[in-house]
Structure 1
Amino acid sequence: MTADQLSEPAVRAFVSAVNAHDRAAFQQTLAPGASMSDDGTERDLADWTEREIFSSGGRMVVETEKAGGRSLVVRYSNDTWGEMRTTWDFVVDGGKITRFETGQA
């Protein structure tokens, strides 16, 4: 499934920004004060995304979506960890992502 096929516009923009390694576009998908967790542990969003996405060539290949496009199963890869199957759950308010939770599927 390509990013442009995703149902939720904010999530579609998020995945597109990650895959394009576009920090500015990525920031535009997030609401002020957005938060996230990785494998159930709260993380600093700016630090985590820099390390796990932008500095390490992160890439999302979406396998499936549920919940109107706010819940994804993704083959996620980066230069640090290689490829792994992950889940991504998003909370969207006013067209912006206020929270996302990711972890191994």
Structure 2
Amino acid sequence: MSIALDQLTDPPVRAFVAAVNAGDRDAFESTLTPGATMSDDGSDRDFADWAEREIFSSAGHMDVLTQTGDGLGLVANYRNDTWGAMLTAWRFTVDNGKISRFETGQA
């Protein structure tokens, strides 16, 4: 059973998930610090290229199953039109109310 969006305890992470699920590029970008970085399955990726491919042009969607006590770690069923559904882990670094880095990969 997934966790409702309003139950995600970290506000920037909650905004990130909401933006991904809405396919809202502007809202997504507003959750990030300038120069934010990310990795996928342990390899750093070009943030803009990854987001376009994995989220926006492929209808990415997160159903969050668990969150860590600090709200910065999630396990989610992630699905998009390219890869289908997969169990993923997400870890966020937040600085001054914005996400400066996230790491994702198969859980």
Q: For 1:68-87, list aligned pairs within 5 A.
A: 68-87=70-89
Distance 2:62 2:14 in 1: 11
For these two proteins, the number of residue pairs brought into alignment is 105
Q: Which runs of 4+ in 1 moved over 2 A?
A: none
| Residue ranges of structure 1 left out of the alignment (5+ in a row) | none
**Counterpart in 1 of 2:60?**
58
Q: How does 1:86-105 map to 2 (within 5 A)?
A: 86-105=88-107
Distance 1:54 1:28, change over 3 A: same
- Aligned pairs (5 A) from 1:8-23: 8-23=10-25
1:27 matched to which residue of 2? 29
CA distance in 2 between partners of 1:10 and 1:4 (Å): 12
TM-score, scaled relative to structure 1: 0.99
Kindly state the Cα deviation for residue 5 of structure 1 after the two structures are TM-superposed.
0.9
Find the aligned partners of 1:38 and 1:46 in 2 and give their Cα distance: 13
RMSD across aligned C-alpha pairs, in angstroms? 0.5
Q: In structure 2, what residue type is equivalent to 1:35?
A: T
Q: Find the residue that maps to 1:69 and give its secondary structure.
A: coil
Task: Tell me by how many angstroms 1:97 deviates.
Answer: 0.1
Q: Distance in 2 between matches of 1:2 and 1:15?
A: 11
Task: Give CA deviations for 1:58-102 in whole Å, capped at 9, x if unaligned.
Answer: 000000000411000000000000000000000001000000000
Partner AA of 1:51 in structure 2: R
